Structures are given as C-alpha cells and as structure tokens.
Amino acid sequence: MKLLFTSDLHLGRKLGRYDLIPDQRHMVDAIADLLDDADGIIIAGDVYDRSQPPAEAVALFDRLLAAVSRKGKEAYIVAGNHDSAERLGVGRIPLGKSGIHIAAPPSSDPFCYTKYITYDEYGPFTVFLMPYIRPQDLWNNPEYPDMHPSAHAEAVEAVISRMGDAEGRSILVSHQFVMGAERTESEDAAVGTLDSIPSSLFRRFTFTALGHLHRAQSVQSPSIRYSGSPLAYSFGEKDDRKSVLLLTFDGNGLASAEAIPIEPLHRMEVRKGSFEEIVSSSPSDSFMSVVLTDGCDVGERVAELYRIFSHLVSISYENARTRLTDEDMELLTRLDGTTPLMQVESFFEKQNGRGMSEEEREYIRLLLDEVEGGAS
C-alpha cells in the first residue's frame, strides 16, 4: 500500500498583506498530481487556517477532494486545532461512503476517534483517525464519564485506550505536539509543556502520521513522523525543502518514506544590508523580508523597495539601535536615581553617538514638563 502523507495546509492563510490562495492552489494541484502514484492520501489536520475560512479556501479543499474522488483514491483526514466541526465536518458521512474519511473535532464526535479497516495484498490494515484533542474535550463527555484531564497527554492517552485492537498493521493519524519535536515560528505554541504528548503513547501503532508542526521530522522513532507543511508559512521556514511523503507499506510495516518536493509558486527570502545595498540588489518576486542594518528611515523611499520586490512582506531593523547589549544593561543600572532629563540625555548619546544639542535638550525638557503636568 502506498499513501501520500501531508498536513497543515492552512488553506486561507495570509502572509502579511498577501493572500496566499494562488500559492495554495498551486500547492493543491501539485499534491493532486501525485495521487496517481498512490492508493490514497493522509491529511493530518489544519486543513484550514481558521475556524471560519474564506470561500476561496473552502473551494480549494473541494478541489483537492474532487481530485481524490475522480482518481478513485482513499482519503484519511483529521481536524487540527485550526479546524472547526461546522466547516471540516460538513458532509463527512456521505463522503465516507465514497472513501473520503474525515474525523471532525470532538465537539461533533464525542468518541474522539474513528476507525477504518482496509486491505492490500498483505492483508488487513487498520487506520485510526484522532483529531486534535484538548483536555476539555473529555470534560462532561458522556463517552468518558468521570474523566477530567488537566493536560493533553492525559486526554490523548484516554482516547487511545478506547480504540481497541487493530486488525493487522495499523496507522494512527493525529494532530498533536510530541515531546522532543522541533517547532517553527509559524505554529501556535502552548505555555510550557501543557500540550506535549510523550511518544511512548504511540508504540502500539505500526506508524503514526502527525500534523501540527510545520517542519518535517521523525520523533524518537522512524515510525512516528511529522510530514511538515507543504508550503512555508514563515521566514523561519525559508530554508526548509517543503515536500509530501510517499509512504510504502509491506507486510511488516513501513518499507519506505520518500520525500517528494513541492515547488512553491513564490519562495521565501530574506535580504539583509544597508538601504542602499538592498535597493541596488537584484529584483525578486519571492515573499521578501528586508532587514536593514543601517539607521536609514525608509519613509517615502519604501516605494523603491516595492519596485524591486513585488511581494515585500516586512521591513525590520538590526543595528545598534535595536540591540540591547550588556553595555545597555549597565547603562540602565547607572541611570537608577537620575532625573528623567538625565536619563533621556544618556539614552540619546548611547543611540546616536553624540550628546544632545541645547535645542534638543530644551525640546525634551518641554515635553517632560508637559507629561509631568498632565499626570498631576
């Protein structure tokens, strides 16, 4: 059996001021083309970027499901923390009869998992679908009486314990954070380790297909794996080679996992340097983050950046004014007990490499008087 494995499509997401629908359409079509070499597809959560996705995002998901149906493939899909029962769960019962299986959020399915048995030349194959589980999904849940877990691990363990035995080999498809995995900046992060799940909970499964993290990786074992998102959603992912996995199973379990690259419509790029260096560099249609290392106030000259970068997402600064060093901390300590005007003067000198002029000092003195007068 061969299954494509992906997750975290985040359909409907924006990047700064840019709508990613064209890029996601390109991504969806690339995934649909790969279905020809597989028996089905796994999507491990976060189909949508938010609980009420725009119509264009819903149309893209429909486009992918239509390709699955047209090519006669199976689909195994779970809800992630960004998905809602009302959007992802619609039509799941009739869709299931045509081989498209969707595990909606627990709010519409109190069992918190579904189980399917399929067959290949090696015999039965059990697929367990478990959507994103939170502790509160089991509170006052009639299927889990007297359960009041305080952490994700406790809730997930309770659900897995209810699944029963698998027939033959087994896959768990889920959307959780497993201890030891590496996050990226485009994911939601809980405080501390409240959302962390130990990998030991998944030992009973032949393979665990996970979503939630955007960087492809295995956790503790080759049989516990995140596919990663098929599209980069932050500049922290700009160097990641985005892909989907083609999983091949034989009679003993996972035989191979081939990463098939998904070429993006637009890449992610960061350019760093002075303003003049940046505007003199080569044009690019990548999603661009500009990091200025000088003190240039861009102002109206921002048009020069848009002229060479058609998808400029952000402008930030990395220079002496933006870095808080040990010297800065020492300066703050020395300023303790000084007057507000003296503090401003010291700060100004540190930032600009010179003392304030008498005109600047008088201007600051008037501002401080106005502030103090307004506070009294």
Domain 2-261 sits in which CATH superfamily? Metallo-dependent phosphatases (3.60.21.10)
pLDDT attached to residue 327: 58
Q: Mind listing the pLDDT tens digit of every residue in the chain (376 residues)?
A: 999 999 999 999 999 999 999 999 999 999 999 999 999 999 999 999 999 999 999 999 999 999 999 999 999 999 999 998 778 888 888 888 889 999 988 888 889 999 999 999 999 999 999 999 999 999 999 999 989 999 999 999 999 999 999 999 999 999 999 988 887 766 665 544 567 899 999 999 999 999 999 999 999 999 999 999 999 999 999 999 999 999 999 999 999 999 999 999 999 999 999 999 999 999 999 999 999 998 777 888 889 999 999 999 999 888 766 555 555 555 555 555 677 888 888 778 766 778 888 888 888 888 887 776 654 4
pLDDT tens digits along 244-288: 999 999 999 999 999 999 999 999 999 999 999 999 999 999 999
Cβ-proximal residues to 130 (8 Å cutoff; 6+ apart), any chain: 78, 103, 112, 113, 156, 159, 160, 172, 173, 174
Q: Where are the domains of the chain?
A: 2-261, 268-317, 328-375
Does the pTM surpass 0.75? The reply is: yes
